[in-house]
A and B are shown apart, each in its own frame.
Chain A
Amino acid sequence: MRAMTYRGPYKVRVEEKERPAIEHPNDAIVRVTLAAICGSDLHLYHGLMPDTRIGHTFGHEFIGVVDEVGSSVQNLQVGDRVMVPFNIFCGSCWYCARGLYSNCHNVNPNATAVGGIYGYSHTTGGYDGGQSQFVRVPFADVGPAKIPDWMSDEDAVLLTDAVPTGYFGAQLGDIVEGDVVVVFGAGPVGLVAARSAWLMGAGRVIIIDHLDYRLEKARTWAQAETFNFTEYDDIVLEMKKQTDYLGADVAIDAVGAEADGNLLQHVTTAKLKLQGGSPVALNWAIDSVRKGATISVVGAYGPLFSAVKFGDAMNKGLTLRMNQCPVKRQWPRLFEHVRNGYITPRELVTHRVPLDDIAEGYHIFSAKLDDCIKPLVIPNAA
């Protein structure tokens, strides 16, 4: 089969690999029909995530058709059209039993601090991902769901990570009616977080980024106010001015490890790999909110330490909430929102890249060429 493989920082290619095999009775093999490149894949692509091995196939956002099932699989059949959450989870450990599927303890031997994720290094379990023609899906009775007939493929693939993560990020903010919500990052997750904040009754939603084309999308798609931080000497001060010097009630960090806006933080993280993440957005969030506010972090950070302004967070009495999104827990309610048109995922897609051109796809997304917001990968392009 054809599969994307990592060849070192900033380098990927397509190779012939062996089709994955059933390795556990509850495995399924899924023929991938559509995948996506996630902003967090760029952390791997840039060599930032520890234990990213040469030859690894990335891809934790994908949908497909069941091609083979293991002997204990009861809920899926060959030929089913399925969407697969980015989390690999068993359904029965202490965490899964309480709905924390992203923190499953039975699928990632490499680390206890993170659950299992498809195609996201050995730090999340060493599973090859879905930017490929076929993928092994463990716990087929637990993770995947049949795609509803009314749902389009592009909506479905975005519902495997980006959309639920943004929706989850807004929930972590504990938004109450009338809250001022500031979202850092106008990528797909930030855009969905902003739109979700409205669903939760926000009175004002602000998005901050440095890419004008993404801020334009934030205005038109998420109906948010926008600020390009490069236009301000101090974006934290601007947020104070915007809120009559109180500060926002909720901030959502939808940027994560490679945040820009502070050259030292960015270079020491993304280029020199001396921090687990460049906490520029997180520090701005800490300083932009009012005392007693809530900060939600859904941007991905690496496991090494980061230079976070923790003293300010403590002195301001902030509540910091964060996690990888437990995707399947979001689906029933999110499906309603998509069906009602409250969230329209496929409108975020800007690029559709054949698998054989995936090196160009990664470069376009990484270098932010061509007004790229969300690239999809087509494994079997004609």
Chain B
Amino acid sequence: MTYTPHKPPIAESPDQLRARIPGWGVDRDPADRPSVPKLAFQEDLTGAHWEFPDRQPEKWPRERSIEHKFLTPVFGTAQPPKGLSGAIRRLSYARYSEGRAAHWLLLMLADRVDAVEEHLKSFATLHPDNPITETGIKAEFTHHGVSSRIGRRRTDLVHQPLDPVIVAGPWVAAAGAAVAGGRALVRSLVH
């Protein structure tokens, strides 16, 4: 037991476990575990036929962590930074290392600004954002939305009501601001 030298016994012997569980113990020897030891020099470089890769063309000034010595030879080119969110992102990358909270908090701020920018932009297209279809809420009616929750001891049910607030809150706030602004404009024109 815990207060004496020996470990509490295990209920099943190795033979019982081997009989019950397919493959029990086949990786008992650490030498059979692929990530042991953690650092293991890979002589074949996993197929790489370079010591340093060719450099991918940089088609715009690619934002990068200032903890990197230089732009990595390969990088993603999806969604280049643009607009106000892009300016915030560029500032975050150019000014703060990953060790600074400001770096990540600015990126989180930029994400929210990006969402507003892109939602507004979508309204000028033939494919405007639609919070009903994009949240997949239809699945509540096709995939047992009620029975997946009722009578189940799910601790997440306490905070799930916050999800619609997160999704709809900014839309409601924007609509409220638009109405208030419109009223103020009308009042100023009337008087």
Contact = CB atoms under 8 A, between A and B. Distances in A.
Given A107-B74, A364-B143, 16 more contacts: A8-B118, A54-B115, A96-B48, A106-B72, A109-B64, A109-B72, A113-B98, A126-B75, A126-B79, A128-B76, A171-B35, A204-B12, A212-B153, A223-B20, A337-B26, A361-B139
Interface string B131-174: 10111111110111100100011111011101100110000000
Contacts of A343: 23
Given A106-B72, A332-B34, A304 B101 contact: yes
B46 to A, nearest CB: 4
A98 B35 CA distance: 10
Contact of B65 (A98, A112, A243, A302): A112
Interface in B108-143: 108, 110-111, 114-115, 117-119, 127, 129-131, 133-140, 142-143
Q: When A and B form their complex, which 8 residue pairs have the shortest distance between CB atoms, in order from nearest?
A: A91-B48, A342-B23, A126-B76, A363-B136, A359-B136, A127-B76, A203-B10, A109-B64
B137 A363 contact: yes
Interface string A119-161: 0001101111000000000110110000000000000000000
Contacts of A273: 108
Residue among A55, A74, A90 having the largest count of chain B Cβ atoms under 10 Å: A90
Contacts of B56: 23-24
Chain A interface bracket (under 10, 10 to 19, 20 to 34, 35 or more): 35 or more
Interface stretch (A9-17, A185-193, A308-316): A9-17
Interface string A93-114: 0001111110001111111110
B39 A100 contact: yes
A51 B8 contact: no
A201 B135 CA distance: 44
A368 B115 contact: no
Contacts of A329: 34-35
A125 B25 contact: no
B35 A364 contact: no
A272 B132 CA distance: 22
A200 B33 contact: yes
A360 B34 contact: no
Interface of B: 1-2, 7-8, 10-12, 14, 17, 20-28, 30, 32-36, 38-42, 45-54, 56-57, 62-65, 67-68, 71-79, 85, 89, 93, 98, 101, 104-105, 107-108, 110-111, 114-115, 117-119, 127, 129-131, 133-140, 142-145, 148, 152-156, 158-160, 162-163, 166-167
B38 to A, nearest CB: 8
22 contacts: A11-B134, A13-B133, A53-B79, A55-B78, A92-B48, A105-B72, A106-B72, A110-B64, A116-B74, A126-B77, A174-B30, A178-B10, A198-B24, A199-B27, A200-B27, A201-B28, A231-B153, A260-B155, A303-B98, A304-B104, A341-B22, A359-B138
